[in-house]
Structure 1
Amino acid sequence: MAEERAGAEPEPESGPGVDAGRSADKSGQGVVAAFGQSLKTLRTRAGMEREEFGKRLGYSASTIASFEQGRRIPPPRAIDRSDEILDAGGLLTVWKDQLEKAQYPAFFQGMAQLEKQAIELLAYDTLVVNGLLQTEGYTRALLNNRRPPLDVETIEQRVTARLARQEIFDRYPAPFLSFVMCESVLRRKFGGSQVWRGQLEQLLLVGQRRNVELQVMPLACEENTGVDGPFTVITREDGKRFVYAEAQGASVLETDPKPAVLAAARYGIIRSQALTPRESLAFIEKLLGEL
């Protein structure tokens, strides 16, 4: 879910269609498999068993097997450490950018790239809590609700990737982040009461950050300019804006200036119709007290 670059760099591609998305996903799987084979080859060349290598890296032998078999993507620090332990001379670290891209579904890869360059992010959500605000438990609950079911490795990969995106909150200089969510989002207790309690607490914590504004659009509100559904507007450091929207495993990343300007204006109206940030945090606190 909405759910990752400066001017001299290539523009992010628009969201792929279903067939293109599947091809990109297969390409990503190929990258992960190739990295795993390289890792295994270098480990074997170093005369190191999985148990020993895992112990030095801080993982179990079964996790190392998952890395080598392309079922899991190691985090960047684990890749750096593996390169050091195996004296690979950079043969593993050169995979980092490709692996980072491969950890996201094909339809989200352009957005994940933009999030890292954002100086402003405006997100309107109507179905679930925005990925940048989700707790681990809430993310797992959402992914476990997918049909057809996702395999365990894919769930672990996407949980890790989604949580990694939240580094945006600690970036310096801090980007401006604004989130407006429909009250209906706050009425769906994915994962049960305990998971939902943790998610509400997370929203309250994030909403108190100086560079974050969190607002709720009440169901009782008679006017809501967000009738066309969820969307995100991102502004890069070079001033260029992009609009992202997704549904049913497909997405559109609009790079044309006109739709981006209109979407930003629409978002401004939505913000004016929603509860203020102070009122919104009070509303969330009330929901928390009712659990």
Structure 2
Amino acid sequence: MPDVMAWFDHTRKGSRYEHSSFPPVLDLLKKTGQKSGADAIWEGRQNWKNTAVRADATPRETIALDANAAYLAAFKTHLPIGQLTWNDSQVHDPKRAGIHHITPPAWPHEDLPSPLGDRRKTGDVWITEPTLRLLQRCTQDGLCDPPLIHESWTSGATENVLEKLRRTLAQVRREAIENGDDVTVEYLKSAYSKFISTMGESTYNREIRRPDWMHILRSQAYANLWLKARKAHQAGLVVVEVTGTDELHVHGDWQQVFTEGRDLSDMKPKRTYTLGADR
């Protein structure tokens, strides 16, 4: 962790926006128990399977695709700069970011997962900025009604807080891949993953405490995967499964939709299997 935090601090030198590393932590962002580690925020994690396709006995070749460096790609997101403040105007300010208490809209699509992910409960929920913006984008595309915002905790925001760090790590990762340096690739994966996971209430990183950032970055990774599923669906592929931050299963010619490779915007095949073959 000291290495990636040193990189982060170096990339923030001369930045236009000065972020807060230790703002007061809202009760909403505090763990409710030591064992569960849960708080009130729903991140929109995906764990979706297309039940209609899986019920079809017709054998169909399925490709499991992997999104590269999902958490690193999520560094491109709107992060609140300072302390979160409360607002109940029910209006979203795109110049601010944070967490929002909403009534989610109905999701009437069986062939595409909900942007809210694998949420079993119904009713109102606290979500982060990426999930709200994704729902609003779905509204613009006519996929669902707009979410009803009840209250928000936000701060002035920018997409550039982690941009220099993202570009630096992406470049080092790209060079390591080109040189066949798997040790560096794995080290970087561990570095940016731990950077996110320890910026909340963690004893492993004493240089920053932003549980709001942690939730937002995770939510952005889930949102990015959903957008890939939506892109595949729009191109005529059948979306079979969407899981976690990086796994997308489809029927169809995926290489007409995504570029195969190991760069951040690329997808790579993990395995091929036949769905319905055992029926």
Superposition TM-score, scaled by structure 2 size? 0.30
Greater RCO, CA 8 A, separation 6+: 2
Superposition TM-score, scaled by structure 1 size? 0.29
